[in-house]
Structure 1
Amino acid sequence: MTVTDEGSRGRAPSIRDVARLAGVSHQTVSRVLNHHPSIRPETKARVLAVMDELQYRPNRAARALVTSRSRTIGVLSASSSQYGPASSIAAIEVAARAQGYYINTANIVSADREAITGAIEHLMAQAVEGIVVIAPQVRVFDILGEFAIDVPLVTLQSSGRFDGNTLAVDQITGARLATRHLIELGHRHIYHLAGPQDWIEAEARMTGFLREMSDSEVSTTAPILGDWTADFGYYAGRELLSVRDFTAIFSSNDQMALGLMHAVRDAGLDVPRDVSIVGFDDIPEAAHFAPPLTTVRQDFAELGRRCVERLITDIGRRSGAHSDKTADAAAPLAADTESVAETEVAGSRLLVPELIVRASTGLPAF
């Protein structure tokens, strides 16, 4: 099947070209594009095959004018360069595409009010139907709270604001798992290399570390505030090793843990014989550190899927167009949750991360 008539040459294929070659009305093609539940599977398959052959791409702006639906989800991100936020964005995009939605990401390029406000206003100007907030800093939520957001919103950080709209990983529990692992190995002199001040996840991981140490009646010193980079981990490691009054370090992320391991090696010491190190995130390279890093893994794919399902359900309820497809899409969510541990904090469902034990932790040397 090809478009061979004179009128169609030299222009992009239209919805009517698709309809003619598929032997259906243009309204039927429109229903396929909008995932209408009444379309028979064989009809949908035929229309999609023609669209693929013609390389037809629907005009999103025109569809939005006709349907009053942009089928676009906005993502507000304050740090897309860090592994956690970047992985969350990728997972959300995959899940959104599977449901026939697009993603429009607004990155907050600096910490000032103007940049944060501009990113929020950019998303609202794109007529997004829902917003995901992946903003690790408290100040982003403070400014977001000043806006009258009239679309469904989900946050991936438990900030104390919008907690009824939170889908996140339980950072406190993850930090407790890491700290408990070191304590159970016999370590009693443990330092915590924390993330930057004002970062929600850094604060939560620090809280988890301090709680676990206190509950286990292990004395501790004040956590060291880092900046997430391997360079800082290396610098902090060199400083700490000049005193060497510890046997283990829990690092708030894997990159700082990498710098710590480098510092230990440069001091002529061994991980884990002299110093045990635990990270957080389980970046893809963590299994290939020397030695492979014990760390805490977050299920970003599951988090992204749940986030999109939650938004689409809320969008459907608000628009009065909660189709059978949306309801059917939500069904696997309930089934899958049985295999994913959860906790509940302030009414929010939090996914429990997993401790991945590798070769960077062992019994204390003294």
Structure 2
Amino acid sequence: MKPCFDAGRAGSITRVPGIEAGHFTETRRPTGCTVVIASEGAVAGVDVRGAAPGTRETDLLAPTHLVDKVHAIMLAGGSAWGLDAATGVMNWLEEQGMGLDVGVGRLPLVPAAVLFDLQVGDMRIRPGAAAGHAACADASSEDLPEGNVGAGTGATIGKVFGMQYAMKGGIGSASITIDGVTVGALIACNALGDVIDPDTARVIAGARSADGLRLRETRRALLHGDPPQPLLAGSNTTIGVVATDAILTKAQAHRLAVAAHDGLARSINPVHTMSDGDTLFALGTGRTDRRPGMLLLATLAAEVTAIATARAARAAHSITTAQGLYLPGAADWG
């Protein structure tokens, strides 16, 4: 089956006019954070589907709430501790004179989401405010590095039957431009389930067999009756951002985030579980005067999300932690 979109030229969320992004990768253990910046502000929405999310400032994105625009989104490892990286983003934005004008100064608003990577290396090392600030300093409009970087540094995939059978996750990006409108996605994949090629439905990475040498195919194994291992709630999670240069209302931004989860459903199985905190943000920079309509924008959002998720898995490289945990990556395994 020929892919409907050439993932070899998948692009990056930074090809959306008005969007920059950067990583901080913690070298002392596998973890990190990634920031998406809209320096001129962007209308934003969010949709949380996983049952165990770790988030910050998501309520303000509700269509009925006051705030119209945000200037950055933070994605981080470190579980709930990683939310502190958003403070560093706030500090950096304030230094640049960005944020909501509150009369006596500017208040940067930075929604954030985190994934659980505490089982990979020393959990006492996690992204903080300095990490968020460093990610901002790294931000540019260049295509982003993918795989074991930023928020994807400590990500893992396929833990349904135990961490010892999991594989390395990562971060990936993609974009599509049609008739002068660009939609892009950035996905940090730390999924409980397998990552699936959205065009062929073949498993890219996920739970391995008992001998560790082949893919187990979680969906088929569960349907066959193989029992899953008891899991700590929230110990997984796929998080990301979808952005477009189209003009959006807050309600439309919310619907774009909703549609983007269709891309997760095409590229992760199982997805949106009780042990995942799957959260997707949507941004509209309004840098183009084209108005393609929500049907096309929603279709593109789902497509780039699915491609970016697959790329996150394909770009991941194998690691062995100091504690002896081996996590093969699809980029160099098999």
Higher strand content, 1 or 2? 2
Give the greater-gyration-radius structure (CA): 1
Tell which has more relative contact order, 1 or 2 (C-alpha 8 A, sep 6+): 2
Higher helix content, 1 or 2? 1
Query: Where on the TM-score scale, by shorter chain, does this alignment land: which range?
Result: under 0.3
